[in-house]
Amino acid sequence: MEFSKYQGLGNDFLLFDLRRWSFPGSALTAHPDLVRRLCDRRFGVGADGVILALPAASGAELQMRIFNADGSEAEMCGNGIRCLARFLADRDGDGPGRRWEVETAAGLIVPELEADGQVRVDMGPPFLEPDSVPTQLPTGPAGLPQGELELLGRTWAVAAAGMGNPHVVVPVSDVASLDLEQIGAALEVHPAFPARTNVHLVQVLNPAHLLMRVWERGAGPTLACGTGACATLVACHLLGLCDRLARLDLPGGPLQIEWDAGTGHVLMRGPAEPVFDGVLAPPYAREVDAWFGAAAPDTAPQGVGLQEVAPQQLAPQQEGDPIDCATACTQGCLRPEACPSAAARAKVAALLEGRSLDDLVRLANDSLESRLLGRRSDDGAGGV
């Protein structure tokens, strides 16, 4: 079971490409225990979340689902969707200008690859009604949920906004001096936020430049939060603290966020980078395969995980058609006299003959390295 790790400003994700699955990704149930173990930085691969690229349920090109490191599912993920865009582009060989319509639990989100390798995302409109965040805070004078919360012996003036997922924004005079661990952990589960919340401390340097620290729902302190940066810009703009377009500095680096006056949509621009491609060891692979395969329709053969296309949906093979052995062979070889697999096996035998294990390891390393270097040279950003 292959996956890739990507990071956007140090917010890191494990990505699985399940786009060729034969039924919509919404059929998949969550598997919190497995996600928690995969995301564990010592016992697992290590990540802030797991992202699945799945077939769309309606109209869009694909569906994204995102699970936090604690196994809970989030509606959306800003850094994650930038990582997803780079991941898809790297897998498919797509370049600047490519855009994807992605179904998420927060609606249709549209990332686009830019010429410099950054990803620009139309994050849609923010949610400013208390019920849609969701929050118990009432709509305040600035036109978004606002209130004062008693916490850790202090009163905090906060505002809330949704980007599909919930965010509380706390403007302060000095983000560095505060105990994010304490404030974040307490605000995440504050009764004013029935679905828990992501927590953002923000300091206004000037109306076009904000400084943030992030406590993520389900993940704790992270280096960046894309949806959080969007919610923070919207909240700060409504509170009269910043412009519609600003740079938001997160611990992992800057994001550019704009709340477009014409469309009412929030636009986010920032980086996303590949870290490595991996293959899960057999016990993990079996579990992941069982997770993805568990949603397979009744017609799927027992014990088989991913079904790219159900065999009975294939058109009958015609004489002279190229053979797609990946699917045809599952029903037995249709044209043994012209079997391309036999030719491939002969090639492999010739390759193996007379080579030592060391030679083969060297060969594999070289090809992995050249693949990675090839990928990086596409965006002109230099080596790995």
Considering only 29-37, 70-78, 357-365, 371-379, which stretch makes contact with ligand ZDP by CB under 6 A? 70-78
Question: Which residue is catalytic, options 39, 77, 83, 242?
Answer: 77
Burial 212-243 (b: 16+ CB within 10 A, else e): bbbbbbbbbebbbbbbbbbbbbbbbbbbebbe
Of 187, 287, 262, 268, nearest to 8 by C-alpha is 268
- Looking at residues 132 to 161 of the shown chain, list those that interact with ligand ZDP (rule: CB under 6 A): none
Tokens 């969007």 sit on residue: 230
In contact, 268 and 78? CB cutoff 8 Å = yes
Min separation Cβ 191 and ligand ZDP, Å? 18
Which of residues 133 and 296 has its CB atom nearest to ligand ZDP in the complex? 133
Burial (0-12, 13-18, 19+ Cβ within 10 Å), 252: buried
Which of residues 74 and 296 has its CB atom nearest to ligand ZDP in the complex? 74
Among 53, 64, 77, 241, binds ligand ZDP (CB under 6 A): 77
Among 7, 104, 118, 165, binds ligand ZDP (CB under 6 A): 165
3-state secondary structure of 124: coil
**Per CB under 6 A, does 225 bind ligand ZDP?**
yes
**Per CB under 6 A, does 74 bind ligand ZDP?**
yes
Among 218, 252, 254, 274, binds ligand ZDP (CB under 6 A): 218
- Looking at residues 5 to 34 of the shown chain, list those that interact with ligand ZDP (rule: CB under 6 A): 11
For the chain, the residue count is 384
Min separation Cβ 332 and ligand ZDP, Å? 46
Which of residues 216 and 296 has its CB atom nearest to ligand ZDP in the complex? 216
Min separation Cβ 216 and ligand ZDP, Å? 4
Which of residues 248 and 296 has its CB atom nearest to ligand ZDP in the complex? 248
| Radius of gyration of the chain measured on its C-alpha atoms | 24
Considering only 91-99, 201-209, 220-228, 295-303, which stretch makes contact with ligand ZDP by CB under 6 A? 220-228
Which of residues 83 and 296 has its CB atom nearest to ligand ZDP in the complex? 83
Considering only 222-230, 260-268, 337-345, 356-364, which stretch makes contact with ligand ZDP by CB under 6 A? 222-230
- Looking at residues 236 to 275 of the shown chain, list those that interact with ligand ZDP (rule: CB under 6 A): none
Q: Which residues contact 258 (CB under 8 A, 6 or more apart)?
A: 233, 244, 245, 266, 267
Which of residues 86 and 296 has its CB atom nearest to ligand ZDP in the complex? 86
**Per CB under 6 A, does 232 bind ligand ZDP?**
no
HSE, CB side, 13 Å, CA atoms: give it for residue 123.
34
In contact, 21 and 308? CB cutoff 8 Å = yes
Which of residues 25 and 80 has its CB atom nearest to ligand ZDP in the complex? 80
Min separation Cβ 317 and ligand ZDP, Å? 45
* Active site (annotated) includes residue 225: yes
In contact, 95 and 54? CB cutoff 8 Å = no
Tokens 């697992």 sit on residue: 44
Please state whether 133 falls in left (phi above 0), alpha (psi between -120 and 50) or beta: alpha
Query: Is the Cα dihedral 164, 170, 176, 181 positive or negative?
Result: negative
Min separation Cβ 267 and ligand ZDP, Å? 14
CA–CA distance, 265 with 356 (Å, rounded to integer): 58
Site residues for ligand ZDP per CB under 6 A: 11, 68, 74, 77-80, 165, 198, 216-219, 222, 225-228
Residues with active-site annotation? 77, 225
